[in-house]
Structure 1
Amino acid sequence: MTSRTSSASAPATPLRLGIAGLGTVGAGVIRLLRANADLLRARAGRPIEVVAVSARDKTRDRGVDLAGLRWYEDARELVTDPDVDVVVELIGGAEGTARAVVEQALAAGKPVVTANKALVALHGSALAQLSATHNAPLLFEAAVAGGIPAIKTVREGLAGDRLLRVGGILNGTCNYILTVMRETGKDFATVLKDAQDLGYAEADPSTDIDGLDAAHKLTILAGLAFGQPVEFSSVHVEGIRRIGAEDLSFARALGYRIRLLGLAHMTECGLQARVTPCLVPQHSPLAQVDGVFNAVVAEGEFVGRIMIEGRGAGAGPTASAVTADLIDIARGHTIAVWGVQASAGLPLRAAPITLGHGAFYLRLAVEDRPGVIADITAVLRDCGVSLRSMLQHPAETDDAPYVPLVLVTHQTSEAAMQEAVTRIDALSVVTDSPVMIRIETA
């Protein structure tokens, strides 16, 4: 008779988290971890538990039960807690406590998960070196496009290909504003106020509408795509403040829609990286991405062009992305910050925007009198800019101080177009600063 002995397997050691920052996302992470505890344990191979938290106001009701969790008013003290295996930084901001917490945790050899796009965009090179030196993973899926797995797609899913281009619609606030302006004909200021009332825009919306948020995300995506951190200050950034309802109307008449795009690609002159409003063909995939949704586009030599779309912000999508990184750490799956072995080299600078080429949309406010068009086309001729088409709407009233005139160019150099715009702006017949928008064919 054969005897059999059975023994229960030892329980898996939990992955213990310290969460620094209990705003909307921090509370969302705790809520998700508890709601999906069994599912996450099955996927990670071990429990994932929050043991400590840090925030400024302990009395604030965050909609989650914090009983039994150690509380730290100073997030830097949370990092030193011996029971914290992983530090989750959700404070935000490129400097101050957020930066100190991440640097301190990495230097101590503790893995860090963050949703802090500004921190990674501005200090990614130094953080990558800390991560490599101390063998401490730094994961930041939630820093780009919320719940869309943009980081994993670019850094891991496309690791076998040479990427040529990366970017997309990277800011939901701007995309919402441009969508509503197109659909309703309302002006920028009115739609921005509505977006603030709905919670889609901050009380101070400048980071979003001036393109900085999208630029942070593009800087990260470009670094991942090309295997080297990119110097944020070298990325050309424009926002959407000057986009008027008339631009959306003209774009429709020309067969386009306007999107704020972040785009990066390698050229003979180096990296071209910019965040600018763009006209995209109304039948293109990017033109179909409306409202608060984001879309990330990548193009490789072998894979061709791919696009992933989804909600780019909010507690749920961002918490989902944070948790995906935690599962990777729990499994022991880590990867170099920029997808390649850490380098001591300086961050990559983007080439000047003036070295770019493309077609352009130019809206002018001009006096309604003979000779105006001749003056403008003479400037374009002298700057070597070829005109493809012209569109003019009549003035709203007989005594209107100006009439709108839209010009669309053939492919030309950015430098030539900027020179032409400067000269046109100086013409006495032009009554307001020109609005120039780049045209993307994809």
Structure 2
Amino acid sequence: MTPLPKLSPSAPSDAITIGLLGAGNVGAQVARTLVEERELISARVGTPVRLVGVAVRDPEAPRDWKIPGELLTTDAESLVDSVDLVIELIGGLEPAGALIERALDRGAAVVTGNKALLASRGAELNAVAAQTGALLRYEASVGGAIPILRPIEESLSGDRITKVMGIVNGTTNYILDQMDSTGAAFDHALAEAQKLGYAESDPTADVAGHDAAAKAAILGTLAFHAPFSFDDVYCEGITEVTQDDIEAAAASGYVIKLLAIAEKHSKGQDPGVVLRVHPTLLPRTHPLASVRGAFNAVFVVAENAGELMFYGQGAGGKPTSSAIMGDVVAVARRLRAPVPEAPTISSEVDLPALPIEKATTQYYIDMDVADKEGVIAEVARVLADHHVSIEAMRQPGSVTVEGEVEDSDNGAKVQIVTHLASEKDLHETVLQLHGLEVVKSVNSVLRVEVEK
């Protein structure tokens, strides 16, 4: 085992000591900043700040920035036990979770960007921090360089947030943007994202929506002061989005984005929060519709502040390290001049996670139907039976005569956008459409997000 680095004898005894866990793309960038910008960081904190160790599995592994050998160690536990502030950039659930809990148990501050861990054990780790008085910060877990968690937690703490909605995964936004702007097929856009470094060799966490769902849980927890986890989030990825969907959306003035949404529902007897991630049709006039490439953006709606949007780079070593370092400076200042820490999750708020059936939304439905009289009337009857009405309808490649479909013997395509309705009613409508004799197939069902 590589011995733990010793604090330089020349380092002031009152210096805030930092231990870094992990030296991958982001970790190496954070280490570089702490070493090369030590004087600047110390000046901004108001007291000396020193990186005293970097725990890694393989000290000899090549890295984006060559970390001084005297800082490297394989003894992560001893490093955690010896510093004032731990930066966790290992990722995953373990050993990251055990090391963070170990640090918080002894009152050490922790800065992390581990969205998977926070979405799984965030409430538990926040409770440990509250019990010991330790500081736990995780701005980098959502949106990369975008400062979104602190504004929600601090700047909007005197307001009531009703909805948080965002593009929080750069990989999927790049893929959908390429499909929309260049006509690229999904597989080609994904391959290009991997070539550019936006997507991993195994892109499942991104394209299946799991990454965005973890971030939705974190955003919901902070926005509504209630403990939500990954399991509370309804999740659909983008693998079923077709070029036909993209083109149909464009023809109707929409763009498709993968959105993470946390929305408060106070109607009826069961108030709570619906957390969901899924491909969504957005009007091209919506601020989120203009977010291109691998950029991220989060749209917040509050009772008094109204609508706010936070936009910026959501991935990469430098953007993510910027968020990490922002937390490091903020935490170090608190360590220098301690003040009571307000809880992230307030015990006075009891807002359970609600199933997606409680959501109110709109649907885009793409169907192939028979070429016969009465088709549209029969489809409309099914919608009406479930309290759903039609806002708009397209029949690409066909003409209409008095509301009926006229096309070739192969039938016709019908694309419908519904008015607002409950998710439950919309879902049951689609199930019944599948069973209609005049409906040959229901090709796509996507949700539509508009101003309510």
**Same-fold call, TM > 0.5?**
yes
SS where residue 95 of structure 2 aligns?
Answer: helix
SS where residue 227 of structure 2 aligns?
Answer: coil
Deviation at 1:337, TM superposition (A): 7.5
One-letter amino acid of the counterpart of residue 405, structure 1: V
Name 2:193's counterpart in structure 1: 195
SS where residue 353 of structure 2 aligns?
Answer: coil
Write out per-residue CA displacement over residues 188-226 of structure 1, whole angstroms, 9 at most, x where no aligned residue: 122112211221111111111111111111111111111
Write out per-residue CA displacement over residues 388-433 of structure 1, whole angstroms, 9 at most, x where no aligned residue: 22112229xx999775421111122211110111122234554555
SS where residue 88 of structure 1 aligns?
Answer: strand
One-letter amino acid of the counterpart of residue 193, structure 1: A
Name 2:444's counterpart in structure 1: 435
One-letter amino acid of the counterpart of residue 407, structure 1: I
1:223, 1:338 within 8 Å by CA — same for their partners in 2?
no
Residue 87 (str. 1) matches residue 96 (str. 2) = no
Q: Name structure 1 gaps, 5 residues minimum.
A: 1-9
Residue 424 (str. 1) matches residue 426 (str. 2) = no
Residue 250 (str. 1) matches residue 251 (str. 2) = no
Name 1:151's counterpart in structure 2: 149
Distance 1:102 1:348, change over 3 A: farther
Name 2:95's counterpart in structure 1: 97
Deviation at 1:126, TM superposition (A): 0.7
Write out per-residue CA displacement over residues 364-390 of structure 1, whole angstroms, 9 at most, x where no aligned residue: 244555554444333223323211221
Give 1:390-409 correspondences, 5 Å limit.
Answer: 390-394=393-397, 403-409=412-418
Deviation at 1:362, TM superposition (A): 1.0
Name 1:292's counterpart in structure 2: 294
* Structure 2 CA distance for aligned equivalents of residues 113 and 122 of structure 1: 17
* Structure 2 CA distance for aligned equivalents of residues 88 and 283 of structure 1: 40
Distance 1:192 1:39, change over 3 A: same
Deviation at 1:35, TM superposition (A): 3.8
Name 2:64's counterpart in structure 1: 63
SS where residue 389 of structure 1 aligns?
Answer: strand
Choose which of 363, 375, 382 in structure 2 pairs with 1:379.
Answer: 382
Name 2:344's counterpart in structure 1: 339
* Structure 1 CA distance for aligned equivalents of residues 372 and 191 of structure 2: 37
Name 1:18's counterpart in structure 2: 19
Residue 33 (str. 1) matches residue 34 (str. 2) = yes
Write out per-residue CA displacement over residues 113-148 of structure 1, whole angstroms, 9 at most, x where no aligned residue: 100011111111110111011111111011110110
Choose which of 262, 270, 276 in structure 2 pairs with 1:264.
Answer: 262
Name 2:134's counterpart in structure 1: 136
One-letter amino acid of the counterpart of residue 265, structure 2: T
Distance 1:335 1:426, change over 3 A: farther
SS where residue 68 of structure 2 aligns?
Answer: coil
One-letter amino acid of the counterpart of residue 143, structure 1: S
Name 2:212's counterpart in structure 1: 214
2:167, 2:173 within 8 Å by CA — same for their partners in 1?
yes
Distance 1:208 1:346, change over 3 A: farther
Distance 1:159 1:330, change over 3 A: same
* Structure 1 CA distance for aligned equivalents of residues 112 and 106 of structure 2: 16
* Structure 2 CA distance for aligned equivalents of residues 358 and 429 of structure 1: 26
One-letter amino acid of the counterpart of residue 408, structure 1: V
One-letter amino acid of the counterpart of residue 88, structure 1: I
One-letter amino acid of the counterpart of residue 223, structure 1: T
2:35, 2:51 within 8 Å by CA — same for their partners in 1?
no
One-letter amino acid of the counterpart of residue 210, structure 1: A
* Structure 1 CA distance for aligned equivalents of residues 441 and 210 of structure 2: 26
* Structure 1 CA distance for aligned equivalents of residues 349 and 100 of structure 2: 21
Name 2:404's counterpart in structure 1: none
Choose which of 296, 314, 318 in structure 1 pairs with 2:316.
Answer: 314
Per mean C-alpha deviation after superposition, the further-off stretch among 148-157 and 56-65 is 56-65
* Structure 2 CA distance for aligned equivalents of residues 380 and 136 of structure 1: 54
* Structure 2 CA distance for aligned equivalents of residues 278 and 171 of structure 1: 14
Identity score, percent: 41
SS where residue 323 of structure 2 aligns?
Answer: helix
Write out per-residue CA displacement over residues 152-200 of structure 1, whole angstroms, 9 at most, x where no aligned residue: 1100111221212223111111111111000111221221122112211
* Structure 1 CA distance for aligned equivalents of residues 181 and 281 of structure 2: 16
Name 1:114's counterpart in structure 2: 112
SS where residue 96 of structure 1 aligns?
Answer: coil
2:364, 2:447 within 8 Å by CA — same for their partners in 1?
yes
SS where residue 133 of structure 2 aligns?
Answer: coil
Deviation at 1:358, TM superposition (A): 2.2
* Structure 2 CA distance for aligned equivalents of residues 366 and 192 of structure 1: 32
Name 1:174's counterpart in structure 2: 172
* Structure 2 CA distance for aligned equivalents of residues 409 and 284 of structure 1: 18
One-letter amino acid of the counterpart of residue 367, structure 2: L
Write out per-residue CA displacement over residues 245-274 of structure 1, whole angstroms, 9 at most, x where no aligned residue: 111111111111111111112112311221
2:12, 2:48 within 8 Å by CA — same for their partners in 1?
no
Per mean C-alpha deviation after superposition, the further-off stretch among 270-279 and 147-156 is 270-279
One-letter amino acid of the counterpart of residue 177, structure 2: T
SS where residue 308 of structure 1 aligns?
Answer: strand
Q: How many residues align?
A: 426
Write out per-residue CA displacement over residues 334-387 of structure 1, whole angstroms, 9 at most, x where no aligned residue: 77575356x4x9995311111222222111244555554444333223323211
2:396, 2:413 within 8 Å by CA — same for their partners in 1?
yes
1:230, 1:347 within 8 Å by CA — same for their partners in 2?
no
Name 1:6's counterpart in structure 2: none
Deviation at 1:323, TM superposition (A): 0.6
Deviation at 1:238, TM superposition (A): 1.3
Write out per-residue CA displacement over residues 2-48 of structure 1, whole angstroms, 9 at most, x where no aligned residue: xxxxxxxx968332211111110100101222343332222111233
Name 1:330's counterpart in structure 2: 332
SS where residue 216 of structure 1 aligns?
Answer: helix
One-letter amino acid of the counterpart of residue 438, structure 1: R
Choose which of 146, 163, 170 in structure 2 pairs with 1:165.
Answer: 163
2:272, 2:354 within 8 Å by CA — same for their partners in 1?
yes
Residue 283 (str. 1) matches residue 285 (str. 2) = yes
* Structure 1 CA distance for aligned equivalents of residues 206 and 158 of structure 2: 33
